[in-house]
Chain A
Amino acid sequence: MDEKGRLPEAAESTNELFERAVRQHSRRLLAIARAIVGNRASPEDVVQQAFMNLYQHRDRYDWREPGGLMRRTVVNESLRILRQPRMSVLPDEASDQGRSQSPGQHMVESETVLQVRRAIDRLPDNFRAAIVLCEYEKMSYAQIAESLDASIPQVKTWIHRGRRQLAELLRAYAGQV
């Protein structure tokens, strides 16, 4: 795969290209879904549903460059899940297993990460999605605007306001500690 997430051209069937795309992008898309839906839904369910939405109309898409398409679908599916009535809250996962740190440092970092994650979960959906795509996916404002079906100035505002709200939430937490 090259920098643009483009798959090597070969005489492969759509199903083979789809399978290959799933294997190459699953990890990153799971992380995006997890960052956007937080503990309000299972990221695996979100990504699986997004993949199946694509698979049902697989003949319409160009599977040689599936990165952007899959990312956009996962973001949209995540936002769709968030708009539904909240049914349950999943427990926070300990995803940072196996990291070699001292117990004290690890505890402090875990607590900080947990607080940041909780603060991000409290942001409005569009703010959160825009920040995740900007900071985690390193996408440009134009790409984010395309993914979220918004204008560039709107994305710029969402990111700025999201960061401001995050900062306020984290300072409030720091004040409590």
Chain B
Amino acid sequence: MAVNENDCELLSAYLDGELPVAECEGLWRRLAIERELMSELDTLRADHAVRGMMWSTLDPGDQAVARLESRVMRASRREDILDRWHYVSRIITTVAALILFGFTIGWLGRERYIVSPTSTASINSNQSNHMASSAGIPQMPSPGKVSVEVDDGTGKLVNLQFDTVDEANRFVHDFRAAHTATPPDGGDSGIVAPMDKF
């Protein structure tokens, strides 16, 4: 019986020790009766032996091995230096980015701070009218004193005290006269006279 391609593949696997035991037993039975198959196996073995001669010459020799090891060690040290440099440069870049970010935020905040006071220079009468009591009488924080609170434009309230209600009214009148010309938000002058609440 002629040896086909599948048989050759089977013999090849058998020579490599990759054939399962069950298939080995079947192959042995066939080898015992099929001369062509046995002849093919002998040919494969002979080819294997010739290739074996070539494999034995692949040993690179001590010099080549030493040269390779030296090259790899040098290259790995260079790689280490590059690694360290990349690490340092990453830190420097991160710090620089953070500083830049901080400056940018500060700059933007500064712009807003400059604009804000002019736009809120108006003194809201509803917010600043802290001197009126519920009874409609000027508040007397301490005996014989009249209190007037003024929004300074940044949201901070300044408490001014006067000896009499008339003095307080005069101050309010003068303050209003000074700010009436340019009420920034179209609102009141920023202070409500104590009399308003009377």
A residues near B (Cβ < 8 Å) are 15, 18-19, 22-23, 26-27, 30-31, 34-35, 43-44, 47-48, 51-52, 55-56, 95-97, 109, 112-113, 116-117, 120, 131, 134-136, 140-141, 156-157, 159-160, 163-164, 166-167, 170
Residue of A nearest to B77 (CB): A15
A24 to chain B, nearest CB (A): 10
CA distance A18 to B71 in the complex (A): 14
A44 in contact with B12 given A27-B60, A170-B47 (CB within 8 Å):
no
The answer to whether A159 and B12 have CB atoms under 8 Å apart is: yes
The answer to whether A52 and B53 have CB atoms under 8 Å apart is: no
The answer to whether B53 and A26 have CB atoms under 8 Å apart is: no
A141 to chain B, nearest CB (A): 5
The answer to whether B57 and A113 have CB atoms under 8 Å apart is: yes
CA distance A120 to B51 in the complex (A): 9
Residue of A nearest to B15 (CB): A163
Residue of A nearest to B71 (CB): A48
A18 in contact with B65 given A44-B71, A156-B9 (CB within 8 Å):
no
Residue of B nearest to A56 (CB): B79
Chain A residues near B58 (CB-CB < 8 A): 31, 34-35, 95, 136
The answer to whether B8 and A95 have CB atoms under 8 Å apart is: no
Chain A residues near B18 (CB-CB < 8 A): 140-141, 156
Main secondary structure on chain B at its contact with chain A? helix
CA distance A116 to B53 in the complex (A): 9
The answer to whether A55 and B79 have CB atoms under 8 Å apart is: yes
Q: How many chain-B residues does the 8 Å CB contact rule pick out?
A: 33
The answer to whether A113 and B54 have CB atoms under 8 Å apart is: yes
The answer to whether B50 and A112 have CB atoms under 8 Å apart is: yes
Chain B residues near A15 (CB-CB < 8 A): 76, 80
Chain A residues near B9 (CB-CB < 8 A): 156-157, 160
CA distance A39 to B76 in the complex (A): 26
The answer to whether A30 and B60 have CB atoms under 8 Å apart is: yes
A137 to chain B, nearest CB (A): 10
The answer to whether A116 and B60 have CB atoms under 8 Å apart is: no
A134 in contact with B16 given A95-B60, A163-B44 (CB within 8 Å):
yes
Chain B residues near A31 (CB-CB < 8 A): 58-60
Chain A residues near B68 (CB-CB < 8 A): 26, 30, 44, 47-48
Chain A residues near B61 (CB-CB < 8 A): 95, 97
Chain A residues near B64 (CB-CB < 8 A): 30, 43-44
Interface residues of B in 42-84 (CB under 8 A from A): 43-44, 47-48, 50-55, 57-61, 64-65, 67-69, 71-73, 75-76, 79-80
A44 in contact with B67 given A27-B59, A27-B60, A34-B58 (CB within 8 Å):
yes
Chain B residues near A34 (CB-CB < 8 A): 58, 60
CA distance A126 to B75 in the complex (A): 30
Chain B residues near A109 (CB-CB < 8 A): 53
Chain A residues near B79 (CB-CB < 8 A): 52, 55-56
The answer to whether A166 and B47 have CB atoms under 8 Å apart is: yes
The answer to whether B76 and A18 have CB atoms under 8 Å apart is: yes
Chain B residues near A166 (CB-CB < 8 A): 47, 51
A140 to chain B, nearest CB (A): 7
User: B98 interface residue, CB < 8 Å from A?
Assistant: no
